[in-house]
A = this chain, B = another copy of it.
Amino acid sequence: MTDRLPPLQTLRAFEATGRRSSMTLAAEELHVTHGAVSRQIKALEDHLGVRLFRRMTRRIEFTAEGAAFFAAVTRLLSELAREAESIRRRNETARLVVSSGVSFASKWLTPRLHRLMARYPDYDVHLEVTDVEIDFATSQADVAMRYGDGRYPHAESERIMNETVSPVCSPDYRERMGGLRTAGAIASARLIHENGMKADWTRWFGMMGMPAPAARGPGYSHGSMSIEAAIRGEGVALGRSVLVAEDMAAGRLVALFPEARLDVESGYDLVYPMGHRDHPKVRAVRDWIDDEVRQFKVVVEVGGVIGSSGII
């Protein structure tokens, strides 16, 4: 990794030059001559193999690459200055960055996030939503919540909620299809897939003692999308218990076989860097989420939502 890094001192000259749009002005600021800056820029360009500035007479302007790199360098240097400052002052950074996947953020986390903020007003809470695998070396996240099997490279995790899946659809659609009271009836309905999760449909039908029908019907990239599709009445989705709870409580979705829940090994995990189990930020999130899960279980049980017993 380190050999791919540009010469770091040249970045200061580059940043100042870009900001002032002038090597001469940058040189003044850095208390060196313009010649020194000129060489630094050149060294950086040589390393990258790309021209960062277009040299016009008496002025310079960014190339496209230069502008892009400048934005990145500016941000990184200012973050570094902030980190250095916080170390100098020995005050633990007041930022608390939580990372989450898209479906979970949409259906569960964001409606509850304000309570995390209210509980720890001294933390400047950030939420980073992405489906990229969590990597604490490159992410600024302090703690993550991920749907998975509990194994995360270079990280520890603990299970927050387990999950089950079971067919759901909109009340309208059920009525239109005549009740959908047997697995056979469901097999002949339009089945909504979540991409990469088709095996779950197969396993669910297997549990019901029948082969899965050939795949047809729409496929969506996210669990939250297939749920939205089911709400719109596009067919029957294999609803993930945690994600559909609110929509079922609100009557937008109904469970077709509340008792036929398929356990899946994946669940929702709290993930954090190795050895950070008792880090204050991790503890803060864990304490909060324990309370949220407790409340959520009540909602789920009162609402009679599928999979309630599968939630820890």
Question: What is the CB-to-nearest-CB distance from A156 to chain B, in angstroms, rounded to a whole number?
Answer: 15
**With A12-B5, A48-B87, A68-B92: A114-B102 Cβ-Cβ less than 8 Å:** yes
* Cβ-defined contact, A77 with B138, below 8 A: no
A78: chain B residues within 8 A (beta carbon): 1, 137-138
Q: Does A74 contact B (CB under 8 A)?
A: yes
How many interface residues does chain A have, given as a range?
35 or more
A73: chain B residues within 8 A (beta carbon): 80, 83
* Cβ-defined contact, B50 with A69, below 8 A: no
* Cβ-defined contact, B114 with A87, below 8 A: no
A84–B45 Cα distance when bound, in Å, is: 11
Question: What is the CB-to-nearest-CB distance from A114 to chain B, in angstroms, rounded to a whole number?
Answer: 5
Q: Does A301 contact B (CB under 8 A)?
A: no
Closest to A128 in B: B128
A114–B80 Cα distance when bound, in Å, is: 33
A5: chain B residues within 8 A (beta carbon): 12, 77, 80-81, 84
Binds B, one of A209-217, A220-228, A259-267: A220-228
Q: Does A33 contact B (CB under 8 A)?
A: no
Binds B, one of A103-111, A159-167, A176-184, A199-207: A103-111
* Chain A contact residues: helix, strand, loop or mixed: helix
Q: Does A57 contact B (CB under 8 A)?
A: no
* Cβ-defined contact, B6 with A8, below 8 A: no
- Near B by CB (< 8 A), chain A positions 1-28 give 1-2, 4-9, 11-12, 15-16
* Cβ-defined contact, A129 with B110, below 8 A: yes
Q: Does A158 contact B (CB under 8 A)?
A: no
Q: Does A285 contact B (CB under 8 A)?
A: no
A29–B209 Cα distance when bound, in Å, is: 60
* Cβ-defined contact, A140 with B75, below 8 A: yes
A188: chain B residues within 8 A (beta carbon): none
* Cβ-defined contact, B110 with A221, below 8 A: no
